Amino acid sequence: MYIDTEECPIYIQTIQSERGHNNVDRFKSKLIEQKEEYEQQITQLTRSHNEQVSKLCHEVEESASVLHQYKIELDSMRVKLQGQEKQIIKNTDNELCPNRNLQIKCIKLKSENRKLKKDLSKLSIKYDKLINEMEDARQYVLEMITNLD
């Protein structure tokens, strides 16, 4: 009989029982061989499982690093937006003056502000998605570790 797993095949042998003392010894030796094979396969599967858990943990760490970079980028964009909004308010107050250069600068700042708000929104969505994926990955790793015990 043959059972196929992803990591290693497991062979199950059926031993036919015959009468006689020699057959009993042969039966015992076959069982001992099977036990040793199963132990080797279990060891190999455990090693493979541990490698997969290690790879997953490494990926989670990398994702955490990317997530942190997104957070820093989002924070810097928020600060930049706040600064530009203050500048727009300041320029809006100065629009009462007929200075054309200030009006052009104000329009450019408003346009750039809208663009940055859109970018910030997109990055916020990515950030939230990554947070959810990180939490799912942590839960999965914890389940794998729990199931290993």
User: Which comes out higher in pLDDT, residue 95 or 149?
Assistant: 149
- Check residue 53 and give its pLDDT: 82
Q: How many domains does the chain have?
A: 1
Q: Could you tell me the two tokens for 147?
A: 């199931």
Does residue 103 have a pLDDT over 80? no
Contact 13, 34 (CB under 8 A): yes
Rg (CA), the chain: 33
Q: Could you tell me the two tokens for 47?
A: 């090693």
- Check residue 40 and give its pLDDT: 93
Distance of alpha carbon 5 from alpha carbon 48, whole angstroms: 12
* Average pLDDT estimate for 17-46: 83
pTM of this structure:
0.47
* Average pLDDT estimate for 58-71: 83
- Check residue 137 and give its pLDDT: 82
User: Which comes out higher in pLDDT, residue 143 or 92?
Assistant: 143
Does residue 4 have a pLDDT over 50? no
* Average pLDDT estimate for 104-130: 82
- Check residue 1 and give its pLDDT: 39
Structural domain harbouring 35: 2-148
β-bridge partners, 10: 3
Residue 95's pLDDT band (cuts 50, 70, 90):
low
Indicate the average pLDDT of the chain.
77
Contact 127, 74 (CB under 8 A): yes
Residue 57's pLDDT band (cuts 50, 70, 90):
confident
Residue 38's pLDDT band (cuts 50, 70, 90):
very high
Percent helix / strand / coil, the chain, rounded to 5: 85, 5, 15
For 77, residues 6+ apart whose C-beta sits below 8 A from its C-beta are: 116, 119, 120, 123
DSSP designation for 18: -
- Check residue 2 and give its pLDDT: 41
